[in-house]
């Protein structure tokens, strides 16, 4: 796939920023669970937090291919920063662009495009992960407010973000058609951040519960109409999955590059281990795996840019790239031998950071449901006929 001059420029800008600002700090931030606030501020200035936002709302109005390229570069240096960038740009800004009123866009999208407010997405619950339609959080209209009650779980940026797209049931009897989406901010009465997860990887990005106890959300903070929430979430996840696929690609490329570099330096039996055929074949497989993921990521992004529905392509890219990142990071650790199992080399962090990629924004098994529904047809809909 031929990239345009503009796309190559954006890729270069993101690569230089990530190498200079993110890579040198990634290890310490992971170890200290330190949120990359200052880097995010700079990313806002560079336009990396409003990449898909139209210019009239202060964004960069870029294409999805450019966004995926930039995402991979950020993830190459720091997966924690990349997931914050992905949730913010894809699901949050994307949903406001698609469903926000003029007033909501002016109030939230404009500062979000500059990175002054970071956005998060609150869909999952303790008993509703892969099956969000079974959520228990409720929203009840009360005068000029909605009253939200429930607990949201595994929320990226739960302690640090400024605005949350929260999904809640306005009609508990109506299944997915009874779900609505709200713009919720921390200062709203009844909103609290809950427990902080003690995670395996991506430790510089916080993941928490959100506790909504009679949380008072002004009625004009409803995103879309009542009952639109499931479609807000699913269409947001289409974009989000391209972001996570691009993140996975960057991480896989970083693991591959580290493995190549180490294999040339490490001498055993009197020669670099890169001279052993067993290892050369491993690296050939890893490079092919990364390249296949790259093509799926760019294909999904290009499909979105052509304006078509891209659920299938986004799920294929997310499925393949996230599994690839796990395979390649695992092989990179193997090539490093005992050193790969220590914190002395970054592949240990890559291995931990990769693990969640096949879980969040839809597990690999969920991606296969989406893909199969497109390829074979939706089982539920066929049964109804």
Dihedral angle computed from the Cα positions of residues 138, 141, 142 and 148, in that order, rounded to the nearest 10 degrees: 20
How many other CB atoms are found less than 10 A from the CB of residue 11?
18
77 and 97 in contact (C-beta within 8 Å)? no
Of 313, 323, 348, 361, the catalytic one is 361
User: Applying CB under 6 A, does 369 fall inside the site for ligand CAA?
Assistant: yes
User: Applying CB under 6 A, does 361 fall inside the site for ligand CAA?
Assistant: yes
β-strands 119-122, 163-169 pairing = parallel
Residue 55 CB, shortest distance to ligand CAA, in Å, is 26
User: In the range 215-244, which residues lie near ligand CAA by CB under 6 A?
Assistant: 230-231, 234-235, 237-238
Burial class (CB in 10 A: 0-12, 13-18, 19+), 214: exposed
250 and 328 in contact (C-beta within 8 Å)? no
Q: Which is nearer to ligand CAA, 24 or 308 (CB)?
A: 308
User: Applying CB under 6 A, does 209 fall inside the site for ligand CAA?
Assistant: no
Q: Which of 13, 23, 133, 260 binds ligand CAA (CB under 6 A)?
A: 133
367 and 319 in contact (C-beta within 8 Å)? yes
- In sign, the C-alpha dihedral spanning 25, 26, 30, 36 is positive
Q: What is the DSSP letter of 128?
A: B
User: Applying CB under 6 A, does 48 fall inside the site for ligand CAA?
Assistant: no
Q: Which of 57, 121, 146, 351 binds ligand CAA (CB under 6 A)?
A: 121
Q: Which is nearer to ligand CAA, 286 or 301 (CB)?
A: 301
Could you give the CA distance from residue 181 to residue 104 in angstroms, rounded to a whole number? 13
User: Residue 349: how many CA atoms within 13 Å on its side-chain side?
Assistant: 26
323: enclosing H helix or E strand: helix 311-336
Q: How many residues does the chain have?
A: 385
Count residues binding ligand CAA (CB under 6 A): 25
User: Applying CB under 6 A, does 23 fall inside the site for ligand CAA?
Assistant: no
Q: Which of 42, 98, 176, 186 binds ligand CAA (CB under 6 A)?
A: 176
User: Applying CB under 6 A, does 40 fall inside the site for ligand CAA?
Assistant: no
User: In the range 284-323, which residues lie near ligand CAA by CB under 6 A?
Assistant: 311
Q: Which is nearer to ligand CAA, 5 or 385 (CB)?
A: 385
Q: Which is nearer to ligand CAA, 332 or 370 (CB)?
A: 370
235 and 181 in contact (C-beta within 8 Å)? no
Active site residue 361: yes
Q: Which of 44, 132, 229, 243 binds ligand CAA (CB under 6 A)?
A: 132
Please give the residue ranges that form the binding site for ligand CAA (CB under 6 A): 87, 121, 123-124, 130-133, 155-156, 176, 230-231, 234-235, 237-238, 311, 360-362, 366, 369-370, 380
Active site residues: 361
């Amino acid at each position: 796939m031929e990239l345009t001059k503009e796309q190559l420029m954006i890729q270069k800008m993101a690569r230089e920023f990530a190498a200079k600002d993110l890579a040198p700090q990634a290890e310490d931030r992971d170890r200290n669970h330190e949120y990359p606030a200052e880097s995010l501020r700079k990313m806002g200035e560079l336009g990396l937090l409003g990449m898909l936002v139209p210019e009239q709302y202060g964004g960069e109005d870029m294409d999805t291919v450019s966004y995926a390229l930039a995402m991979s570069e950020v993830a190459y240096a720091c997966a924690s920063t990349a997931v914050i960038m992905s949730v913010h740009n894809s699901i949050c800004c994307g949903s406001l662009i698609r469903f926000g009123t003029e007033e909501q866009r002016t109030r939230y999208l404009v500062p979000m495009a500059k990175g002054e407010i970071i956005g998060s997405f609150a869909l999952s619950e303790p008993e509703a992960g892969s099956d969000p339609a079974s959520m228990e959080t409720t929203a009840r209209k009360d005068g000029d407010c909605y009253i939200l009650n429930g607990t949201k779980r595994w929320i990226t940026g739960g302690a640090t973000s400024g605005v949350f797209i929260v999904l809640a049931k306005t009609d508990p009897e109506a299944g997915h058609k009874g779900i609505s989406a709200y713009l919720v901010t921390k200062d709203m009465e009844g909103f609290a951040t809950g427990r902080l997860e003690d995670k395996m990887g991506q430790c510089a990005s916080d993941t928490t519960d959100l506790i909504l106890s009679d949380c008072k959300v002004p009625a004009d903070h409803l995103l879309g109409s009542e009952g639109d929430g499931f479609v807000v979430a699913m269409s947001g996840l289409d974009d989000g999955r391209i972001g996570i696929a691009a993140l996975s690609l960057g991480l896989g490329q970083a693991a591959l590059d580290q493995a190549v570099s180490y294999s040339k330096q490490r001498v055993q039996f009197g020669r670099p281990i890169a001279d052993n055929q067993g290892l050369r074949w491993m690296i050939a497989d890893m490079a092919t795996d990364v390249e296949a993921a790259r093509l799926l990521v760019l294909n999904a992004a290009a499909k979105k840019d052509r304006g078509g529905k891209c659920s299938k392509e986004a799920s294929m890219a997310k499925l393949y790239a996230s599994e690839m990142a796990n395979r390649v990071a695992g092989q990179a650790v193997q090539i490093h031998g005992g050193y790969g199992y220590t914190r002395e080399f970054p592949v240990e962090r890559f291995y931990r950071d990769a693990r969640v990629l096949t879980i969040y924004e839809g597990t690999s098994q969920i991606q296969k449901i989406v893909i199969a529904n497109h390829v074979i047809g939706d089982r539920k809909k066929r049964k109804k006929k």
